[in-house]
Amino acid sequence: MRLQTSAGLLPLISLTTALTETPFLGFPSPWISPDPSDAEWQAAYEKAAAFVSQLTLTEKVNLTTGTGWEGDRCIGKTGSVPRLGFEGFCLMDGPLGVRYVDKASAFPAGMNAAATFSKRLIRARGEAMGEEFRGKGVDVQLGPVAGALGRTPQGGRNWEGFSPDPYLTGVAIAETIRGIQSRGVIACAKHYILNEQEHFRGSVDVRIGDKTMHELYLWPFADAVRAGVGSVMCSYNRVNGTYACENEWVQNYLLKSELGFRGFVMSDWGAQHSTLGSALSGLDMAMPGDMMGPPSASSPPYGSHWGGALTQAVLKGEVPQWRLDDMVTRIMTSFFRVHVGSYTSRPEPNFSAWTRNTTGPQYKYSNRPWTTVNSHVDVQANHSALIRELAAKSTVILKNTGILPLSKSSLTSLAVIGNDAHDNPNGPNSCPERACINGTVAMGYGSGTTDFPYLISPATALLGLSQEHNITFFNTTSNWDLTTAQSTASNASVAIVFATATSGENFVSIDGNAGDRNNLTLWDNGDALIRAVAAVNPNTIVVLHTSGPVVIDHADKHPNISAILWAGFPGQESGNGLADVLFGDVHPQGRSPFTWGKDLESYGVELLTVAPDPRSPRQEFPEGVFIDYRWFLSEGKGERGRVTYGFGHGLGYTEFEYGDLVVERVGGRGGYEVNKGKTIPAPVMGEVVDIGDVEGWTEPDGFEGWRIPRYVYPWVNATVYNSENGTARSPGIGDFPPEARDGGVQEELPAGGKEGGNEGLYEVLFEVKVDVKNAGTREGVEVVQLVSCLVCFFCCDPVRLMMNSTSHPTTLSPPLSSSAALTTSSSPPTPPKPSPSPSPVVTLASGTPKPRTGRFSPSISRPSLSGRARWI
């Protein structure tokens, strides 16, 4: 869009311009338009345009606004178009399965999927989740997650996403999106953007510059857009002074213009704060539609920032009709884009998120009408096999002195110790939102969870295996009775001790941990339990179910601790997947998706837990792009040697040899072509609304008796319309420049042009090949580690590496060999700004490229690389 300034800009614009060092105007909100070069997109767009052209003003508003919290059977539900027989959209959490339903699977967390470093498994997980959401009649899955990215290791919702490495997260989110949407369900990439902690998440003002935004936090969302994601959820926090859901730099400029996002932006639940600010700054769908509570004196006149308020804003000319039309066209294009092939039909919701009973109220809040709300449809299919495979192949062996794999024939006795190994005596779903540590932990807590259809605990799986192979089995559940733990451990030839540290969302607190973890120690006396068991058994194995890294250096150095495994949050097949790895039935391939520092302070970042004014907390990111391994490896930070286990670390059961490394330049000689395109004028769909004419847009006569309490309707109230403060607008229309409502031809950004940004930014530049040979005595899966640097005068900067078309790790039997290939590529845009950078590890599976990220050197040859390299 236009890069210009205006005297009438909000204070945010000058603030953001200063912080980003980029003069910009994020208005008007970009609109989508036909694209004959993309047949799949064009077909969806044409269907959407034809549909939207039939809609009245209030029908359009209905599809943009949720009906209210507990206003229907789904977590989020938009209004419908009864005249055309189109039911409103059903939106449901979450990133690892369908929340608040029965007979659905509990998949491993996103961080576990990332730990496999397998595109095949990540895609398969997305496909399976998509099948289950579709089977329940859900239109939009509220996932996957790229925010929180993982700036701080104790971030409450890091486990919902994939990794603090933006490239690994980018690959994982893209594959997950492709999997979900291939099954006729719209994926929602969230939480956009900088929602990096739970403390103060609804009010914190994150001040960030253009470089850090582009090179770290925006990166995986660029991959999501390039994968064709249908929706993006804006987050609770402020960015450079303005809430994310009404931030024109974040939504209009970066997402819709620079990255070319062609789907719709929805608000997180309650993250919308105004009518005009959100509409003009790029929001397309308001969730849940109301204020998430009973009306109060501070509530907007319509009980919603949109609904009737949006209709009124259009009738008053404050929101141009083309902006509303674009909202609905984006929504419907995303719908038609996934409803293709075998998935053109649209199952209706067959559940209620608010009750497990077969009958109940259609509209929970109003408690009426009473009807069948749950059909108890079983959507699990055979997904348990995939879940078990993911649980096993995401398990990371951090330490192994040779005790693993355990032998079923020679192992005589086994002790399983710790609360985290055992079943919750009250059932796996007895703690609401999984907010407890009573029994084994297989997912975090909060809205990113789902109900377990069942949960195989490690103790259950290991007991069954012990009985099958005549292994004497001992166990104890208490983490605090160390005397019993030691007695149990001393009786066994091998002792496996379990410990956990969980995290989640801030509306739930466990032992003073309000979403974010207070520290990086193990919970429930876990560290003391490990020390006590190791003191009496020289063959101690430690298993960790944690939401991220913990301080475990004491176990790494303990001579009696022979192995340490990180199992993360493995989902319903937790125990079976772990047993498969412990006894060698599955070849270990898990690699740590984050760094294990020796202490919390070594990470160089701080969680904001105290603010001078808790109502307006402000957060800086002084570390810039240097988080996780970048911080530990960066020059001049004094952090070298303060790592217990590095990013990408993980052991296997065999050895591999490498040879014949070949680096070949395959592209990058043609130069970078900036985008010089222009938009068409903003399309207006259907009948043009007469500004100022309220007739026909008020509640139909006789409807009052049918009105559902607190349900959000699209009609205008004539009394409210004629009052001075009729539209809930903060800021008012005078606070926006004329460009905010300009639907004329616009110049596109030079870095834009396609979904994900300019095509030239993704050009493959180099191909690297290496032969990998299994030189051991067992089958195994290798994840190749590669550091690739371009020479500069002051630093060694890592090159971004991309996976080629192969999509899953290859198992090699000795002495077989395989050729692993990877390609270096350019990346989404950001202005060059030289600075020292670490050399990241590049991971790829034997025979299958598994990439890591990097950047091109800011050397004197930089002009020849201009526009094709992303700086990280």
Active site residue 268: yes
Q: For tokens 């969806």, what's the residue? A: 44
pLDDT over 90, % of the chain:
74
The pLDDT value given to residue 275: 95
**Total residues found in the chain within this entry:** 872
Q: Which residue has the higher pLDDT, 736 or 101?
A: 101
The model carries a pTM of 0.91
Res 704: pLDDT:
84
Residues 6 or more apart in contact with residue 157 via CB below 8 angstroms: 145, 148, 195, 198, 444, 446, 448, 503, 504, 505, 515
Peptide bond into 849 cis (omega under 30): no
| Mean pLDDT of the 535-556 span | 98
Percent with pLDDT over 70 in the chain: 85
pLDDT in the model for residue 853: 26
Which amino acid is located at 580 in the chain? D
Higher confidence at residue 613 or residue 819? 613
**Tally of CA atoms within 13 A in the half-sphere of 613 that contains its CB:** 7
Q: Under a CB-based contact definition with an 8 Å cutoff, are residues 208 and 250 in contact?
A: no
In the predicted structure, residue 166 carries a pLDDT above the cut 60: yes
Q: Which residue has the higher pLDDT, 670 or 792?
A: 670
Beta strands in 211-254 (DSSP E): 231-234, 238-239, 242-243
Mean pLDDT, the chain, rounded, equals 87
- Coil, strand or helix at 496: strand
CB-neighbour burial class of residue 277 (10 A; exposed 0-12, middle 13-18, buried 19+):
buried
> For the chain, which residues make up each domain, given as ranges?
11-30+37-354+687-741, 385-599
Task: Count Cα atoms within 13 angstroms, Cβ side, for 328.
Answer: 32
Q: Quick count: other Cβ atoms within 10 Å of Cβ 21? A: 11
Q: How far apart are CA 676 and CA 312, in angstroms?
A: 37
Q: Confidence band (pLDDT; 50, 70, 90) for 614?
A: confident
What is the rounded distance in angstroms from the CA atom of residue 738 to the CA atom of residue 8? 8
Under 8 Å between Cβ of 151 and 133: no
Beta bridge partners of 789: 798
CATH T-level topology, domain 11-30+37-354+687-741:
TIM Barrel (3.20.20)
Task: Give the pLDDT band (50/70/90) at residue 389.
Answer: very high
Q: In the predicted model, is pLDDT for residue 864 greater than 50?
A: no
What mean pLDDT is predicted for residues 827-842? 34
Q: Which residue has the higher pLDDT, 785 or 555?
A: 555
Buried b (16+ CB within 10 A) or exposed e, 497-533: bbbbbbbbbbebebeebbbbbeebebbbbbbebbbbb
DSSP 630-677: HHHHSTTSS-TT-EEE-TT----SS-EEEEEEEEEE-S--S-PPPP--
Which of 322 and 300 is assigned the larger pLDDT? 322
Task: Indicate if the pLDDT at residue 838 is higher than 70.
Answer: no
State residue 630's pLDDT score.
87
- SS percent in the chain: helix, strand, coil, step 5: 25, 15, 55
Q: What is the mean pLDDT of residues 22-32?
A: 82
pLDDT at 2 exceeding the cut of 60: no
Task: State the pLDDT confidence band at 405, using cuts at 50, 70 and 90.
Answer: very high
- Assigned CATH topology for domain 385-599: Rossmann fold (3.40.50)
The mean-pLDDT minimum among 44-53, 113-122, 495-504, 787-796 falls in 787-796
Structure tokens at 300: 């907007």
Please give the pLDDT value at position 805.
Answer: 28
From 139, 205, 210, 268, active-site residue = 268
Q: What is the phi-psi region of residue 485: left when phi exceeds 0, alpha when psi lies from -120 to 50, beta otherwise?
A: alpha
pLDDT tens string 265-288: 999 999 999 999 999 999 999 999
